[in-house]
Amino acid sequence: MSEAFSPADTQKLAPFFTNLTEPIFGLKLPQEVAGALFSRYSRSAKSLRQIFLDEFLGQADLQGSLFGDGAAPSDDSQAIQKARAFYDRVLVGYGDDSVAQLGGAHIACERISNVAAKILEDARIGIAPLEKSTRYVRFDNQDPDGDYLFYKEPTIMGSSHREAYLSCMRHLFETYAAQIEPMIAFVRDSLPIDTVEWKHPQTGDPLTYTDTQRDETLRRWAEGAYRSTVRAHACDILRSYLPAATLTNVGIFGVGQAFEHLLNKLYSLDLAETQDIAKPMHKALEALIPSFVKRAQPNAYLRQTAADAQALSQTLLDGQSVQSTEAVSLVDYDRDAEDRILAAILYPNVRLPLGQVRSLVKNLPVEQRAQVFDAYIGQRRHRRDKPGRALEHTYYTFDIIGNLGIYRDLQRHRILTQERQDFTTAHGYDTPPEIEQAGFQVPFMECMERAAAVYERIFADFPAEAQYVVPFAYRVRWYMKLNLREAIHMGELRTLPQGHPDYRLIVQEMWRLIGEVHPTLARSATFLDWQTYRLGRLQSEMRTEYKKSRLTPAT
C-alpha cells in the first residue's frame, strides 16, 4: 500500500527521493544524511520517507540548496547537523561500526606514485579504486617544468642518492619517449591491417579486410579499432620501462568504515608519500563525510606489529637461498575439495546438518557425484553467468613471481587474500619479445641494469624507498589465496583475448595446476581461454568503435 502525503509534504519530499508512491525507491541525499536516516530507519516503525519528513527535513536547509541552485547543503543545515549528532552519539560514543558502512564518498588521488597507488588499491573491502591505464595513456608527457612525471621521493631527494635517482628516472622516461613512435610503427608493420582476421562487430561473423572496405561504416570501424589496438599494444610493451615512481591518478569510492581503516593504515606506514596522501585525503573526507573519519589517526599497533614482523623475518630467514623459480606454484589446496563443494551444493535443499551431508557425499558413486556437480554448474551461456556460493568451500594458495606490470593487473581482484613482497630488482626482469624484435634489446638491457645498480645503492640506506626505482619489467613475488568461485571469475576475465599476454600466461598456469589436482572441479571454468593472440584487443576495440558510432550522431 502506497504512502499518502499531503500536497505540502509531497512538495517538500519530492526533491529527495526517486518516487513517493512505490515501496522501492532511491535516495537523493547527502551521504551522511542517507546513512543516519538508514540507521534510524532500522529502529523505527515509521517509513523512511516519514522519518525524513518528521526528523531530518529542516525548514529549507536542504530544499532548494541541493536541488535548486545545484549547490551542496551547507554544513549548518538542520538535516546535516542532526545526522552528524547521530553519528557522534552512535559511532563515536558507542562504536557501532555498522553505521559507518551506510555512507561513502568519492576521492580523487592525482599525481601519486605507483608505489602509493598499490597501497591504496590493496584496501579490499569497501573500497572501489580505478587507476589511470598504462595501456591507453602515453607516459612521455612532461610537467610544466619540463620534467617527466615521476615522484621525487623526499628521503632520496634529501640524500646523497639524489642525482643518481633523478638521472636514472629521467633516462628511463627518455628511452620510453624515444621508442614509443618506432614501436607503434613496428607493431603496425609486423601485423599489417590487411592481414588481420576480422569479425563483424555486431554479428561476430568472419570478415576479410576487403569486406570491411566495401562498407564505409565498417571501414571506419576497422581502421579506428586497428589504430587503437596498435597503439595500446605498443604501450603495453613499453610500460616495462616505467619505474614504480611513475605518477598516476587513482579514483576511489569507499564507504566510511573503509576510509577510516585506509587512513589509519596510511598514517601508520613509514613512507613519506603515504603521510602526504593521508593528510589531504583526511581533510577532503572531513568536508564530505566527517562523522565517518573522526577516529582516523596513526595506529601504534599497526606500526609495532609491522616492525616486529620485519625484524623477526630478517633474523630467522635471512641468508636463505631461493629454492623455486617457478612463475606459479600451487602451495596449498584442500584435499577433500570435492566433498566440501558437493555437500555445499546439496545442503540448502535438505534438512540435515552440514557435517552429516559431507559424510554422506563421500559414499556417492562417481557418476552421481559428477551429476550433482554438473547440474550445479549448469549450461552457462557466458562468463557473467556466475556459479553459486558452493564453490567458495575450497581454497587454493599460489605463490607467484611475475613482472611488476602483471602484479598491477592481478592485484586489483578484491575477493581473495593476497600479500606481496617489496618491489625489488633481485628477481631479474622480463624482456618483451617485441623489444628484441624491434632492435631495442641493447638500450633495454642498459636501462634495466642501470636501474638495478641505483636500486642496490639506495636499498643499502633506504630499503623501503628504493622501491620507487624499480621498473615494471622487474619481477615481484606475491601470493594469492582464493576460493574456486573467485578463481573462475579471475580465470575467465584475465584470459580474455584482449588481456595482456603476460598475465594471461600466469592465470592459465594457475588453472593448469588446479586441473592437475581437481580435474572435475576445473570443468567449472567454462569460458577460460587457453589460446594465444596477436593484437588480441582488436575485436574488443571493434566492439568499442561500434558502440561509439551508435552513440555519436552522424555529421
pLDDT tens track of the chain, all 555 residues?
A: 567 899 999 998 998 888 898 878 888 887 777 777 777 776 677 888 898 888 877 644 444 444 434 444 455 566 667 666 766 665 555 456 666 677 788 899 989 999 999 999 998 788 888 888 888 889 999 998 999 999 999 999 999 999 999 999 999 999 999 999 999 999 999 888 888 777 777 777 888 888 888 888 888 888 888 888 899 899 999 999 999 999 999 998 898 899 999 999 999 999 999 999 999 999 998 888 888 888 899 999 999 999 999 999 989 998 888 877 899 999 999 999 999 999 999 999 999 999 999 999 999 999 999 999 999 999 999 999 999 999 999 999 999 999 999 999 999 888 899 999 999 999 999 999 999 999 999 999 999 999 999 999 999 999 999 999 999 999 999 999 999 999 999 999 999 988 888 999 999 999 999 999 999 999 999 999 999 876 665 656 655 655 555 444 433
Name the residue range of residue 97's domain: 7-102
d(CA 161, CA 320): 29
Helix or strand run (H / E) with residue 249: strand 247-255
- C-alpha cell at position 209: 579486410
397 lies in some domain: yes
56 lies in some domain: yes
448 lies in some domain: no
Domain end point (choices 54, 75, 102): 102
- C-alpha cell at position 81: 547537523
d(CA 257, CA 261): 6
452 lies in some domain: no
Query: Parallel, antiparallel, or unpaired for β 127-131 and 198-199?
Result: unpaired
Query: What is the reported pTM?
Result: 0.86
Q: 527-531, long-range: CB within 8 Å, 24+ apart, which pairs?
A: 527/380, 527/382, 527/383, 527/492, 528/491, 528/492, 528/495, 529/492, 529/495, 529/496, 529/497, 529/504, 530/495, 531/497
d(CA 229, CA 459): 38
Task: Say if residues 121 and 250 touch (Cβ distance below 8 Å).
Answer: yes
- C-alpha cell at position 402: 611475475
Which residues, at least 6 apart from 430, have a Cβ–Cβ distance to it below 8 Å?
240, 402, 403, 473, 475, 502
135 lies in some domain: no
Of 418, 362, 354, 366, the residue nearest 390 (C-alpha): 354
Distances (CA, A) of 351 to 342, 347, 354, 373, 388: 15, 8, 9, 20, 20
171 lies in some domain: no
499 lies in some domain: yes
Q: What's 481's domain CATH number?
A: 3.30.1360.170
459 lies in some domain: no
Count how many domains the chain has: 2
